[in-house]
Structure 1
């Protein structure tokens, strides 16, 4: 059992509307804290949306996600797993971005995550738009390319936007493959749908061996069968999990910048993460929660519920 210092504050001890909100009511352990070296999984906010190409707002995501996460309790309702006892978890705070400079922000993010890697901390990230994943991967993939399970409506594999802009929330995984951060033959993208500009992203995926499971196939086969294939694709070696909240149908998650109809429901949103059991998760993120489009916080609560599911999967894949 982990040190009680790393256990969340119980709603039996302090009302959920009271106290300073941290992710899942965990202790705040910023870099330099005397307990930093003891953290197994660090929850990190990246309040940044400079890669957004249409409706901005994910820069406000981590704050709303933290507030919603006060409703997360200690035990998984199905498995009985108590991740905060299996792992030493902490809120590591936010990476401070430079909202006027994409490259500087990415450097700041990578530098922060380099510190986590050096300390042996596995990150669970709350974005931020989906470009956030690229600088995180630059740190996590230094030992070698990772596999990836990617839940999304969009491939994020485009070459560029707006006459040569190479860094947007529609390009991070194209860059990650080009930079050798991800092994394309160990990438599976699940839930892809919506109208299209063209087939350039799909053609790239096919050319390098990325497996795309469109939403029609997802619904026809069901989550269990799809996730069995996903586990087979990534295999036993280290894998990144990237979860865009717009994977979920906007009926259940309207608070996002690029919604697409026809997606999974809220239960299926949790079910696919449970299907990751046994995957060696090197790190994970939940991105594109945009509070301006759902001030009620329902999207954020679904987002942190997904983060809890991811944390439980990470608790089942302890490093040797």
Structure 2
């Protein structure tokens, strides 16, 4: 009987495969020793952010109308909201007479960037909070969007774009086909900003940088890099914070934006720890930069892994003339 390639195998070979991978993992632990920290030069704008220039989260509560009998149905919350909306238009309707199959109560969220101005447009997300089956084909009525301080920063309104659908009978025993999430949608450019951004992001002429990955060495090097170009303007307060003083002359000449742009484009040497990633399940070893392999020996059963260093001199084939 002829054994085909890939079929079966000797017990010794199969046994060796089972413990060969763990041996490699342990060998990697012993042999891969970190040396000096990994050093790379990066733009300051890529490793830090300016404190006070974060995006703000906005949220609001509203109604989506025009649904094809896929709304909240007999939900009390939705009926009360519809009644309050009609009352603003001086239309009084008893809550018991309101049918809300074509209406859905929703939460609306958006993110507003720094330096926004009145009239800017924002994308909004709309999510059902009732028992609506789908928001497809619906239109969001004007909804105020509030920031954490309780102020209205934008107004949202428009037709929804829904990426999911739900088809079928949701009654017991009925069949229903759904894809993605039909109870959530988006309105690109669906919100209009109503106020300018008046936040103060340079307190008392001091710009604060916050590192994405706090590290004392990196913070100190950022300060050194900035001081090399503008002597005495920067100082590392802690592992995550670098403060930069804006000269009064720059403020008087209206060159603050140019100064900040120069800071963002300045480069500093970042300090990254050397890392070794091990997967015992697959026997994979992944090493980053600045990893030195030192001489060592790992033995397991009849398998020995040995790492040796040999020094040699590179000699050209022909002598120099």
**TM-score normalised by the shorter chain: which range applies?**
under 0.3
Task: Kindly name which structure, 1 or 2, has the bigger radius of gyration based on alpha carbons.
Answer: 2
- TM-score, normalised via structure 2 length: 0.20
- TM-score, normalised via structure 1 length: 0.20
Which is richer in strand?
Answer: 2
Which is richer in helix?
Answer: 1
